[in-house]
Structure 1
């Protein structure tokens, strides 16, 4: 396999995820993405040529493996005496008693079929992480190019939707909003926010190229900066047109952090900007929590605060074992007020961490805590590095924006956002400087001189 063909695997798959993975409604589209994701995983397991992951990369792979193991653990059949003693199983026991049937062996999950359906959904993020960390099947510049092009196409489609009132790709209730390639306008905002910092990284890299290169290279770098700034303007306009409350609230802190990445040689200014961005993001999250119904659509309940209250009650009834992945919709109805139910229903907790804790219990909570700890540790280490990797820094901002939005919504339910999040985590684990070292080792000789590759990495 040629090097360019190998390096196009992640960019092409990411672009496909953006085009096809905007909603779980696209069953056949998502199935195609899952098949390709499984192919990437199989490739990573059987490939003779692999990279040597960093310790952070290996830990990220372990976390992925534990996620997979957690799903399987919830599907292991238990004897009646065991599962019937678990908290929250009274409705199941009553059902068998009313039917006069003996208690069968059942798993921890109250909805085993829904939990089984989680396994293929894992193929997209796990496949991308394996392709970056294990295979190194990417070039940073190509990946960012695929992300920017897909995002700009989504903005363009959203503008057409607003002007013409049509061209929606999925059945949705956001018929007066710019949803772009998504069914949910909030998730479109998540993509736009996550793309901004990578454009900032490109601008920063081109500034470095201008200061270090010849006049011809300086002119080319200036042209790329102008193009990147144009893309930034398109995305900011897209966030404004989108109208998502969370998107608008997180725009300022993400923009400040993006500015920090685009100014790599501005002394202490980048770290000051990032510190301010973190404070503003915390303030934005507090504001969103205070207006939990802001930006939400009509449901069987008036506000998201009601959904959170019912979900917390369900967590208390089923902790520490949880209800099983994919069971939220069915279990939520047990605690929902029937008098408030109308033609709309609650399908998610509008908070991914809250829904995750309900469905996975103590083990899932510990796994989520481990992921957040890994992310925070890597983010601090990357930002404190003497020679920071700009694309890795952008990945911390993009993944941080997705995590922040997930506190008050469920963007990670879409394959497109899963793909962007997975690539961001992989870039945090495997910065380009490490990739350059891997290329030098694979050549089997020491470099005689240093050059700057197109994606900004240093190689011999």
Structure 2
């Protein structure tokens, strides 16, 4: 099969994100990724009118637009009488009073410069979403290949790091751990967990309609199983508590995709995986109440307690995106401060609520509602779309890990999560794909098809 160059755009950009986006460290790394994301967004804006969007895709784009609008709303200057009366602004008012200055117009954000700096960070996830939903500049098979190759490279690098004591790609990192392409070993585990269901999707598709007996299909299944072995070994070598706790539910959900045929068993396995996923999250939260590897004086339970207190003091206004570090300092006990510093809440939802307030809660709730509705719809479909189903598992694993960590602060995990949401918004059943190829004037399907696999 001759593959148009445009269909390599998403796989190539995803692979670059995995290579360069393993940490917020590195100005040039992120400049390259952000410029790439902006180029995709610009391309999509030019092609938007000619695109045929699904209803789920259109709604996902609206959610992306609201995310962008939220940042802008936090930067709008407000009159002194308005912003000074908002919760959590007493410190700012006191500062101007002590200096004998009149209160100026200030925005909703307490750290407007930091909030403004978050705008370029939106380029990578938004770029990937529009590249799939609007441009269709991908093939699922090659996107999965890019993800698997990146994950396996990260595992191999992690194994070298454990055996040789390096090399590590970032100055601030978990020395002595298998971090791979990341600075944080826990985020390496997140990538590996998100890769497993896509490998299972490849296996499940090869077994559909009895194709598993074909020599080419057998070879692809063996290759996928080999990659699964590498990924699982990588999770074990990584040693992340969250990664190990989430491995069983993710493995069960992936097994539901890999099993031949349809029927009730895959859905039962998926339901059991969901129950175990919830149990794993609860177990991780309970375990982190007892201790943490951050420092003895900054256990995660203490971080959560302080963050919740700050949320209570600033809700519903929030403190502004990017303001966590500065605002958290106001609540720390000076007697307990040492060489360790807290840069994140170790819970993306808690940090999001602190920084965005009520508007952020509403937006997060809308995204989760969209995700749940799409996941239920996809798992109930008569004809499964293996890649879209894998995307529900991968994004679910990332969301679960985000409850007790901050993997979505890395551009690499943002890319995988955004791509998963886009795949969920653009499901293509096998029969629908074949039909759409025969109709002129519409985009060709981009998820796994017989032609994709056999070409």
Shared fold (TM-score, shorter chain, > 0.5) = yes
How much does 1:50 deviate?
A: 4.4
Task: Indicate which of 436, 452, 455 corresponds to 1:454.
Answer: 452
Check if 1:406 corresponds to 2:405: no
Check if 1:277 corresponds to 2:266: no
Q: 2:173 & 2:366 partners in 1: Cα distance? A: 36
Q: How does 1:221-236 map to 2 (within 5 A)?
A: 221-236=217-232
Q: TM-score, normalised by structure 1?
A: 0.94
Q: 1:162 to 1:168 in 2, by over 3 A?
A: same
**2:171 aligned residue:** 171
How much does 1:301 deviate?
A: 3.1
Q: 1:322 & 1:406 partners in 2: Cα distance? A: 20
Q: 1:258 & 1:411 partners in 2: Cα distance? A: 21
Q: 1:441 to 1:103 in 2, by over 3 A?
A: farther
Q: 2:410 & 2:143 partners in 1: Cα distance? A: 19
Q: 1:179 to 1:46 in 2, by over 3 A?
A: same
Q: 1:313 to 1:436 in 2, by over 3 A?
A: farther
- Assess if the C-alpha contact under 8 Å between 1:10 and 1:143 holds in 2: yes
Could you say what secondary structure the match of 2:207 adopts?
helix
- Assess if the C-alpha contact under 8 Å between 1:77 and 1:107 holds in 2: yes
- Assess if the C-alpha contact under 8 Å between 2:436 and 2:442 holds in 1: no
**2:146 aligned residue:** 146
**2:300 aligned residue:** 304
Check if 1:421 corresponds to 2:412: no
Q: 1:436 to 1:40 in 2, by over 3 A?
A: farther
Q: 1:128 & 1:173 partners in 2: Cα distance? A: 27
Matched residue pairs, number?
448
Output one character per residue of 1:352-392: Cα deviation in whole Å (capped at 9) or x when no partner. 00000000000100100000010001000100001111110
Check if 1:268 corresponds to 2:294: no
Check if 1:288 corresponds to 2:284: yes
Q: 1:439 to 1:364 in 2, by over 3 A?
A: farther
How much does 1:58 deviate?
A: 0.4
- Assess if the C-alpha contact under 8 Å between 2:291 and 2:299 holds in 1: no
Output one character per residue of 1:113-144: Cα deviation in whole Å (capped at 9) or x when no partner. 10001100000000000000000000000000
Query: 360-369 vs 257-266, which deviates more?
Result: 257-266
Check if 1:329 corresponds to 2:333: no
Q: 2:324 & 2:313 partners in 1: Cα distance? A: 13
Q: 1:294 & 1:238 partners in 2: Cα distance? A: 26
How much does 1:409 deviate?
A: 0.2
Q: How does 1:132-281 map to 2 (within 5 A)?
A: 132-208=132-208, 211-212=210-211, 218-281=214-277
Q: 1:388 to 1:319 in 2, by over 3 A?
A: same
**2:84 aligned residue:** 84
Could you say what secondary structure the match of 2:40 adopts?
helix
- Taking only aligned residues, the RMSD between alpha carbons, in angstroms, comes to 2.0
Could you say what secondary structure the match of 1:454 adopts?
helix
How much does 1:26 deviate?
A: 1.7
Output one character per residue of 1:272-320: Cα deviation in whole Å (capped at 9) or x when no partner. 1111101111111111010115784234733111111100000010000
Q: TM-score, normalised by structure 2?
A: 0.95
How much does 1:171 deviate?
A: 1.7
Output one character per residue of 1:240-259: Cα deviation in whole Å (capped at 9) or x when no partner. 00000000000000000000
**1:36 aligned residue:** 36
Output one character per residue of 1:74-122: Cα deviation in whole Å (capped at 9) or x when no partner. 0000111111111100110111111111111100000001000110000
Q: 1:167 & 1:411 partners in 2: Cα distance? A: 21
Q: 1:444 to 1:102 in 2, by over 3 A?
A: closer
Output one character per residue of 1:193-226: Cα deviation in whole Å (capped at 9) or x when no partner. 00000000000111126x148x7xx001000000
Check if 1:364 corresponds to 2:349: no
Q: 1:50 to 1:9 in 2, by over 3 A?
A: farther
**2:388 aligned residue:** 392
Output one character per residue of 1:161-192: Cα deviation in whole Å (capped at 9) or x when no partner. 00000100002341110000000000000000
Q: 2:111 & 2:390 partners in 1: Cα distance? A: 38
Unaligned 5+ residue runs, structure 2? none
Could you say what secondary structure the match of 2:452 adopts?
coil
